[in-house]
Structure 1
Amino acid sequence: MHRPPSAATEVAGELAAARPGLVARFTAELPGARAAVLTRLWRALAFEPLPWIEGRERAGDTVVLRLMDGRRLTGPAADPYRTDAYVPVVRLDEAAYDDPERLMTDLAVPHAAGFTRELGHSAASLALSRAGQPRAGARENHPDEWPDSDWGWERRVVDGHPYHPGCRARPGFSVAEQLAYGPEHGPVVGLGLVPVAAAECLVAGAWPRELRDGARVLVPVHPWQAAHVLDRPRLAWRDAHPLMPLRTLAVPGGPHVKTALSARLTSSVRDISVASVAASADLSSFGEDLAARSGGLLHVTRTLGAATAHSPDLAAVLRESPREYAGPGEHVVPVAALATTGLPRSPAWSAAFARLALTVGLRALELGVALEAHGQNLLVVLSAAGAPLRLVYRDLADIRVSPARLARHGIPVPHLPDRVLTDEPAALRRKLFGSLVGGALAATAGSGPALCGVLEAVMPQLPDTEDLVALREGPLPVKALTLMRTSPGTPGDLWTELPHPLRYG
């Protein structure tokens, strides 16, 4: 059977033209990158409610998946909280697969063609990201060597999402564009400005004078968006450094700029809805009020201003840098970058961080706010010695808010978009537990047994609320990321349940 060129072949060809000196390292990194993506995919196959899987059987250290068409997939028993690449091969009947793109191609399940190509792009882009890093030993992860900038921390997160098979999928980006815009490659990106008549713009918050020109609003744009989506003249503006979300960039000495980027990265197309701009000021004020109720343990970055030309393709949000909340000698580190700090994963440190994160998350949930506290949105303020002190949360767009819980605590219900409002306990708990426990804490721990030890140490020290009881009794809800990518016509988040991490004790 004729197979089209794989994503890896395409990337290698483009790399030979764009950066020939990286081809050998890309080739060397490709097997490990495929194993990393295959591990994430196997986690999804082992635990998500995929309609073409009829049943799952475990025999010792092996799991067998029975497919609806009679075929069988066999692989190692999956630890859904493990973050290293421990699934180098799975078998479809008697055939062995070490390439997730080839595996999904031969599975040929409904609605998976786009996702299959994304898997190939994910593995190839991950190999490219790893190939572009300093060689082992070239940089010491020691507090004395910690970055002194926002973007310095964020470029260290080379592998992307710890559990998403599309952890590095950038199918809309050429190799040259990945090198030019991917934070892990350390580029400087020239942001542009698109002038729009003020009468044709929706502006929220305090839009700076620098971004106004008489009767025109100047909207910051990403160069990829300008090249591929917008058919408008633009002006040069400021150099900036991309952060983990890729479409959000840090202007040195200035704000973080969230731009519209109409490409699919991991699960979502990264535009900015008109509704989110309209709600940005209210959400920001609400976040400040929430932080004020945390006893000094939580900061929420403020939205300084937002603007849209009444189009999700041309909009921008300005936010303050999380570094605003660091004291002398302190560092603000995205949770996703904690593994690069060089701090030991000691039980005492892990328990201190988990205690802080769960105290803040459960307190906010009790008040009526479910944070989406994954490793990208959640940052931790570390002392000069590396002790976790406080949390910083950024980007309130996907929180969930319970009007009933707010009212119970005498908190005025703000004017927020309907999509973030819910009084359903399961929906609120899914949002927090899936992101914080199944995401940030699990990835920081690195495995089910390690996460179990952290939770066993911390849970007895937390207030025994109904939400904590629900978390303790499990199972643990997390987003069904592969099901979401293979379920056309089903908008929004889909969920699955993982074995409770306390069972690893």
Structure 2
Amino acid sequence: MPHTAAEREIAEELRSVRPERTSAYLAALRGARPAVLARLWRGLVHEPLPWIVARVSGSDGVTLRLVDGRRLHGPPSDPWATGTAVAALELDGVPYDHPARLMAALRVPGGARFAAELDHSVASMALSRTARRPAGPPVEPWEWEQRSPDGHPYHPGCRSRPGFSAAEQLAYAPEHRPVVGVRLTPVTEATVRGPWPPEWRDGTAVLVPVHPWQGAHVLSGRTLLHGPRAHPLLSLRTLALDRTLHVKTALTTQLTSAVRDISAYSVHWALATSELVERVADRLGGRLHIARTLAAAGAGTPDLAAVLRESPYVYAGTGEQVVPVAELPAYFASHSPRERLARIHAFARLALGVCLDLLGLGVALEAHGQNLLAVVDAHGWPRRLVYRDLADIRVSPARLVRHGFPPPPLTGRLLDDDPTVLRRKVLGCLISGALGPLAGNATTLGTLLETATRALPPSPDLRALRTEELPVKALTLMRMSSGGEQWALLPNPVVADPVTADRRN
């Protein structure tokens, strides 16, 4: 099995820093390649890529005709399937078993850069799969965020971590369960919102928390002091300082779909946004908690800023746990198939009801598997939701005012009254980031959406969910272009009688 550049780089470093992991890493490549190739094939089959001019499905799979006349053939692709593997794809009869090599061979705009990301994604996934898996249930709440080695179930760049060496992944990535030493850097004339901790001040200077990777690679010229020890969460750059307090740091590198910095805009509006969403969420009768933004500080540049946030785990009552939605498939796996399906349906009813009700009031959450968490009782039933990280929500001033709220005290990109934008934000994230992975295939997802929406109050947003194509982020297209968010529209799998659905809505 000839190795690619990223695979060789990590293997060579492991031989130097962690030789005992090298053989496990090389063995894990055999599973990581088809896992990432399956994610890439999903994007090629279902996203509006401009260099694919036709898609033909047959009994033996799907054939894509490229703009230059070549043909790419592979197996059937269910856009909602998870845990799948594709052994190889054939480009004009030549098999390719590595996603990076296939992307390079396609010779399409943006392909060379994306091929490098796919190479990193395979290599990093294989390294993640060498992590020792927990033997029992979590002891500390953040341990729920450190259990999955594979990342986003649909994103071909699910484990791409450019700029991270093997040693840095082992030191900072949540699946390896390290303890991370936060750095503090003094900033004079910092922008501060909220009560900044007095222990993080030095005279007139504010001590801003810095991720150690950021300190080494981006802020190496600054004074960096040793700060508290913390535990990395699903987003890697967000760290649990203890059971009650999390810190979101800037990490100026490309992880999955975005560079993880913190804009001056986000710092400026952090508290106002949190306070607004809390007020609106109060209308939902306790079904949704907002992990409050407590303070934010920055130097006016996106590479040096931090946000202090309430831990979502403080909302667990006696006998309850708070589980990130991305980890619900693993959490529900301990139940029998029938019990598991019942709990998935209960979660879908709760999540769709909460998100659509909040959208109707004027707040569109980006409710994917990292940002949305479920409060589950001692028997595994979802009872309430917690939402964290308000940086990319959307707020509709018109809807808020219509429901008796004052105009939002915000400006800029968070505000939008366009129903299409608002629905894409909510449904695109909730379905592709939460419900799709729980369902695991299109048929189950259709049944899940149908049963979960039966009793919901009629609204234009609900009608769109039940009758229109489903928006999902075009994850492959986004990585091959520079146009920001891009969208694909997938066939709606809702199993519903049109007459009944029309009468209901």
Q: Same fold per TM (> 0.5)? A: yes
1:260-296 deviation per Cα after TM superposition (whole angstroms, max 9, x unaligned): 1111111111111011000001011012112211111
How far 1:365 moved relative to its partner?
A: 0.8
* Match for residue 493 of structure 2 among 461, 485, 501: 501
How far 1:66 moved relative to its partner?
A: 0.2
How far 1:474 moved relative to its partner?
A: 2.0
**Which residue is equivalent to 2:479?**
485
1:479-504 deviation per Cα after TM superposition (whole angstroms, max 9, x unaligned): 1111111113x2x3110111112269
Residues 281-300 of structure 1: matches in 2 within 5 Å? Answer: 281-300=271-290
In 2, the alpha carbon distance for the partners of 1:61 and 1:464 equals: 42
In 1, the alpha carbon distance for the partners of 2:344 and 2:142 equals: 24
In 1, the alpha carbon distance for the partners of 2:323 and 2:424 equals: 25
Letter in 1 for 2:387: Y
**Which residue is equivalent to 1:350?**
344
In 1, the alpha carbon distance for the partners of 2:87 and 2:435 equals: 25
Residues 97-246 of structure 1: matches in 2 within 5 Å? Answer: 97-134=96-133, 139=135, 145-197=136-188, 200-230=189-219, 231-246=221-236
- The SS at the match of 1:105 is helix
* Match for residue 380 of structure 2 among 360, 378, 386: 386
**Which residue is equivalent to 1:76?**
75
Contact 2:244/2:314 (<8 A) preserved: no
Gap runs ≥5 in structure 1: 140-144
**Which residue is equivalent to 2:303?**
313
Letter in 2 for 1:475: E
Contact 1:32/1:85 (<8 A) preserved: no
In 2, the alpha carbon distance for the partners of 1:121 and 1:479 equals: 21
Are 1:256 and 2:246 an aligned pair?
Answer: yes
**Which residue is equivalent to 1:337?**
327
Contact 1:361/1:370 (<8 A) preserved: yes
How far 1:411 moved relative to its partner?
A: 1.1
- The SS at the match of 1:453 is helix
Letter in 1 for 2:264: V
Residues 9-28 of structure 1: matches in 2 within 5 Å? Answer: 9-28=8-27
In 2, the alpha carbon distance for the partners of 1:130 and 1:93 equals: 33
Gap runs ≥5 in structure 2: 498-505
How far 1:131 moved relative to its partner?
A: 1.1
- The SS at the match of 1:147 is coil
In 2, the alpha carbon distance for the partners of 1:449 and 1:85 equals: 16
In 2, the alpha carbon distance for the partners of 1:151 and 1:388 equals: 18
Contact 1:240/1:251 (<8 A) preserved: yes
**Which residue is equivalent to 1:36?**
35
Contact 2:243/2:313 (<8 A) preserved: no
How far 1:254 moved relative to its partner?
A: 4.5
Are 1:396 and 2:368 an aligned pair?
Answer: no
Contact 2:296/2:308 (<8 A) preserved: yes
1:117-146 deviation per Cα after TM superposition (whole angstroms, max 9, x unaligned): 000100110010011233xxx72xxxxx42
What count of residue pairs does the alignment treat as equivalent? 491
In 2, the alpha carbon distance for the partners of 1:133 and 1:261 equals: 26
Are 1:428 and 2:417 an aligned pair?
Answer: no
Contact 1:448/1:504 (<8 A) preserved: no
Shift >6 Å, 4+ stretches: none
Contact 2:118/2:160 (<8 A) preserved: yes
In 1, the alpha carbon distance for the partners of 2:372 and 2:426 equals: 12
In 1, the alpha carbon distance for the partners of 2:228 and 2:341 equals: 44
How far 1:149 moved relative to its partner?
A: 2.2
How far 1:55 moved relative to its partner?
A: 0.8
How far 1:311 moved relative to its partner?
A: 1.3
Deviates more, 1:251-260 or 1:100-109: 251-260
**Which residue is equivalent to 1:142?**
none
How far 1:156 moved relative to its partner?
A: 0.8
In structure 2, relative to structure 1, the CA distance for the partners of 1:4 and 1:12 (3 Å cut) is closer
Letter in 2 for 1:481: L
**Which residue is equivalent to 2:463?**
469
In 2, the alpha carbon distance for the partners of 1:411 and 1:66 equals: 52
In 2, the alpha carbon distance for the partners of 1:116 and 1:261 equals: 22
How far 1:148 moved relative to its partner?
A: 3.2
How far 1:255 moved relative to its partner?
A: 1.2
In 2, the alpha carbon distance for the partners of 1:240 and 1:48 equals: 39
In 2, the alpha carbon distance for the partners of 1:504 and 1:93 equals: 40
How far 1:253 moved relative to its partner?
A: 4.2
CA RMSD of aligned residues (A): 1.6
In 2, the alpha carbon distance for the partners of 1:359 and 1:410 equals: 20
* Match for residue 302 of structure 1 among 292, 296, 318: 292
- The SS at the match of 1:218 is strand
Contact 1:182/1:242 (<8 A) preserved: yes
In 2, the alpha carbon distance for the partners of 1:503 and 1:485 equals: 32
Letter in 2 for 1:215: T
In 2, the alpha carbon distance for the partners of 1:339 and 1:355 equals: 16
In 2, the alpha carbon distance for the partners of 1:295 and 1:465 equals: 19
Letter in 2 for 1:8: E
Contact 1:275/1:417 (<8 A) preserved: no
In structure 2, relative to structure 1, the CA distance for the partners of 1:61 and 1:404 (3 Å cut) is farther
Question: What's the TM-score, normalizing by structure 2?
Answer: 0.95
How far 1:186 moved relative to its partner?
A: 0.4
Contact 1:167/1:266 (<8 A) preserved: yes
- The SS at the match of 1:131 is coil
- Percent same amino acid among aligned pairs? 57
- The SS at the match of 1:249 is strand
